[in-house]
Amino acid sequence: MRNIRIFDTTLRDGEQSPGAAMNIGEKLQIAKQLARLGVDIIEAGFAITSPGDFEAIKTIAGEVEGPVICSLARAKEDDIKRAWEAVKDSPKKRIHTFHSTSEIHLKYQYRIDQAEALRRSVEMVKLAKSFLEDVEFSPMDATRTDIAYLCEVTEAVIEAGATTVNIPDTVGYTIPSEFGELIKTLCDRVKNIDKAVIAVHCHNDLGLATANSLSAVLNGAGQIECTINGIGERAGNCSMEEAVMALRTRRDIFNADTNINTVEIMRSSKLVSKITGMSVQPNKSIVGANAFSHESGIHQDGLLKEKSTYEIITPETIGLHKTKFVLGKLSGRHAFKTRLSEIGHDLADEEINKAFERFKKLADQKREIFDEDLEALVSENQTTVPEKYSLVDMHISSGFNEKPTAVIKLKMDGKIVEKHEHGDGPIDAVFKAITSLTETSSKLIKYEVKSITGGTDALGEVVCSLEEDDKSVSGHGADTDIITASARAYINALNKLAARIKNN
């Protein structure tokens, strides 16, 4: 059985989703979860694009053990050198460089001929190889590239030292039968193909990214480039969880599997969704809320008799199970710390103290604290965004015959400021008061509320997406009081926005 490498690009291509920008702390949090998940390679970012991206890659390279840590780089000398500086501290490191090869890109974007594109590609692979052993090359827009030229480029970059050649469907143009034939042709016609792994990076513009990736595996590809929840540029990328579970479930067809620890899939999905503010659609395969829900009487009857009648994957396989360990207000610090460690959060003492303080407050409001509640507490506690604005206090009044009113107290630049505002509803009044106090001009483009667990005392989770000066961010807040959660989310988004504006 073949082992297919999983190259996760959530932190690079996934971050290119509008509004999905992440700070260094959030990227590190996701990278550590990807390591627990068992991905083979983490593409941690694009080092040359910004100081923030460089620092995020460098931090991940120095702190995350297990996967290969990779930086993307254009086929340019400065890019390659910057990528090397970012990943060099990792025990396992890779530079991934790329250059367009399609006639459309060379003619209209690069304005060079095929010979020049080939020369640049080979030279930059050689430069990357002078720094490290593990070099990946991508002929961008490969699926719209002349096949003879694509074979020539592939052979040349392998000869120059590329150990992985990635075949990207950059614009999501191909279909499974066509893409499978392309991979087979490369395997048959490139003389030195045995010296490199063929990878595939498929976009989902026609909804075929996962299908195309799996077709490539059937025809010789040994690495799938993908993202958690399928996020990414435009319509997104191949969904990691879909590709992995297809290979695992249909090993009889693919004769292949991955190193992924599938019980970490759901936790990874929720973490990425929470940090990026991009909710998973309910009918999404594998990780959607309805993926293991059955309403039809016929289906329910079959499941009660034998689960395999209507479930080809058990919920436990991807980490969905009923919580057995329940914490409450009488639980101590040791039990709290132990449970956090068991669900994958090994925090420093200072972080434990902050999280435990919030846990105790929550325990006074809820009879039982579930793992999902702990995940929310830790997620809020681990934010590394500088707090330009922080919520001190709030008072809300509303009723059938009373105009909704909010009194908000914020701490700004070391001073406590207060504002009284009316609104169409209590949330509107809160947001107006915060906006007035902070004197911001951002636009609220998305507001989402959901329950983290069941029951009337459940934590409410709120995501606010803001946009200002072509910069989009998502803020997160959680509380048993949904108005408080909304205020926290809005302020978290404003802090992120302020940090991005400052860094740029």
DSSP string for 53-96: HHHHHHHHHHH--SSEEEEEEESSHHHHHHHHHHHTTSSSEEEE
Q: What is the torsion angle, in degrees rounded to the nearest 10, for the CA atoms of residue 271, residue 273, residue 275 and residue 277?
A: -160
pLDDT band per the 50, 70, 90 thresholds, residue 376: confident
For range 42-59, the mean pLDDT: 96
**What is the CB neighbour count within 10 angstroms for residue 161?**
20
Buried b (16+ CB within 10 A) or exposed e, 257-291: ebebebebbbbbbbbbbbbbbbebeeebbbbeeeb
Do 263 and 318 meet the contact criterion of CB atoms below 8 Å apart?
A: yes
pLDDT band at 156 (very low <50, low <70, confident <90, very high): very high
Smallest CA-to-CA distance from 489 within 452, 447, 441 is with: 447
Measure CA of the first residue to CA of the last residue in the chain; give whole Å: 48
CA separation, residue 447 to residues 382, 436, 476, 487 (Å): 22, 19, 10, 11
pLDDT band at 380 (very low <50, low <70, confident <90, very high): low
The two structure tokens encoding residue 122: 């080979």
Q: Are the CB atoms for 277 and 474 separated by under 8 Å?
A: yes
- Read off the pLDDT of residues 93-117 as tens digits, 9 standing for 90 and up: 999 999 999 999 999 999 999 999 9
What integer is the mean pLDDT of 398-412? 93
Burial class for 137, CB neighbours closer than 10 Å (0-12, 13-18, 19+): buried
Write down the pTM of the prediction. 0.81
263 vs 248: CA distance, rounded Å: 13
With a pLDDT cut of 90, the percent of the chain lying above it is 66
- Give the confidence band of 295 by pLDDT, cuts at 50, 70, 90: low
Residue 323's pLDDT is: 46
Task: Please give the residue that has the higher pLDDT: either 70 or 460.
Answer: 70
Q: Which of 252, 255, 373 is nearest to 323 (CA)?
A: 373
* Alpha carbons within 13 A on the beta-carbon side of 160: 26
Looking at residue 358, what is its pLDDT?
A: 81
Per-residue model confidence (pLDDT) at position 103: 97
Q: How confident is the model at residue 294 (pLDDT cuts 50, 70, 90)?
A: low
Examine the pLDDT at 325 and tell me if it is beyond 80.
Answer: no
Res 431 pLDDT > 90: yes
Domains of the chain listed by start with CATH number? 2-276 (3.20.20.70), 291-321 (no CATH), 333-381 (no CATH), 389-503 (3.30.160.270)
Residue 84 has pLDDT above 50, yes or no: yes
Spatial distance between the Cα atoms of 288 and 194, rounded to a whole number of angstroms:
39
* CA 116 remoteness from chain centre: 35
- Pick the more confident residue, 380 or 336: 336
Helix axes 482-503, 426-438, angle to 10 degrees: 30
More confident residue, 276 or 134: 134
pLDDT, one tens digit per residue, over 240-267 is: 999 999 999 999 999 999 999 999 999 9
Q: Two tokens at 269?
A: 């999905």
* Average confidence score pLDDT of the chain: 91
**Token pair of 456 as six digits:** 């009337």
Question: In this model, does residue 470 exceed pLDDT 50?
Answer: yes
Cβ contacts of 448 within 8 Å, gap of 6 or more: 277, 279, 462, 463
Angstrom distance (rounded) from CA 364 to CA 458: 12
CA neighbor of 29 nearest in space, from 258, 215, 212, 276: 276
In whole angstroms, what is the distance from residue 164 CA to residue 494 CA?
A: 41
Q: What is the pLDDT of residue 382?
A: 57
Model pLDDT, residue 381: 60
